[in-house]
């Protein structure tokens, strides 16, 4: 990030939310940039591990998917499918992964992870299935509360819909229309309130920067 004031702000937010997440028994880490985040993920995921993925701009920005493809890992590659049916099959396989990597749409100041999904595979895996979940997120996704999280999700919905080429009303207007079409992006909302049910299962790596959408 070139703006030193924004960088300072994201560092402060990132370090503060990491402390909150740790108190709620997530395995929480603060890092300064994506390179450090990638290094930390690779330290956590052993070679030979079975890895699932949630759709994530942040993971693509980090370049870790190509690292898993080229390395000695068993990647369930949702991005390398011949058709939609094969992609859905990969979603099912990822539920039994040893490690599941994704990002989050928002984190409240109270340490709640708030997400909206199209197909539901990402939020389902975050909650139950894979042995370990590793979430990489920018400090820009930290918001005040659940209402602010929903507002953020509505704000980014048109961008996400455009990114995956869904022909929804928001891809034309640029704002959430709360549409009722089959192509609707916003179908499954989840809130993970804390990590206490399975302490340490969910790792959250907060990057002191502006990432994803």
Distance CA 51, CA 77 (A): 8
β-bridge mates for residue 100, sequence order: 52, 133
Distance CA 132, CA 26 (A): 11
Domains of the chain, earliest start first: 4-144+191-207 (3.40.50)
pLDDT digits (tens, 9 = 90+) for 78-103: 999 999 899 999 999 999 999 999 99
Distance CA 72, CA 70 (A): 7
Categorize the per-residue pLDDT at 160 as very low, low, confident or very high, splitting at 50, 70 and 90.
Answer: confident
Three-state secondary-structure class, residue 163:
helix
Q: What is the dihedral of CA 208, 135, 202, 46, to 10 degrees?
A: -110
For residues 105 and 121, the answer to whether their CB atoms sit within 8 Å is no
Say whether pTM exceeds 0.85: yes
Residue written as tokens 């869904």?
A: 166
Percent of the chain with pLDDT over 70: 100
Quote the tokens at residue 185: 């992006």
pLDDT digits (tens, 9 = 90+) for 106-159: 999 999 999 999 999 999 999 999 999 999 999 999 999 999 999 999 998 888
């Amino acid at each position: 990030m070139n703006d030193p004031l924004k960088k300072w702000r994201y560092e402060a937010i990132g370090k503060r939310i990491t402390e909150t997440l740790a108190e709620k028994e997530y395995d929480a880490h603060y890092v300064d940039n994506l390179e450090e985040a990638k290094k930390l993920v690779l330290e956590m995921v052993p070679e030979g591990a079975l890895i699932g993925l949630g759709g994530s701009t942040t993971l693509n920005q980090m370049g870790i998917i190509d690292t898993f493809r080229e390395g000695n890992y068993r990647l369930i590659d949702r991005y390398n499918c011949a058709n939609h049916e094969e992609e859905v099959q990969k979603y099912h396989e990822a539920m039994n992964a040893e490690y599941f990597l994704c990002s989050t749409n928002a984190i409240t100041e109270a340490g709640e992870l708030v997400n909206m999904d199209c197909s539901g595979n990402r939020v389902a895996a975050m909650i139950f299935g894979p042995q370990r979940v590793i979430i990489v997120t920018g400090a820009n996704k930290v918001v005040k509360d659940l209402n602010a999280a929903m507002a953020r999700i509505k704000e980014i919905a048109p961008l996400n819909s455009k990114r995956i080429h869904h022909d929804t009303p928001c891809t034309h207007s640029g704002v959430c229309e709360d549409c009722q079409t089959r192509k609707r992006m916003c179908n499954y909302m989840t809130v993970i309130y804390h990590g206490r049910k399975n302490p340490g299962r969910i790792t959250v790596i907060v990057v002191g920067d502006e990432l994803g959408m």
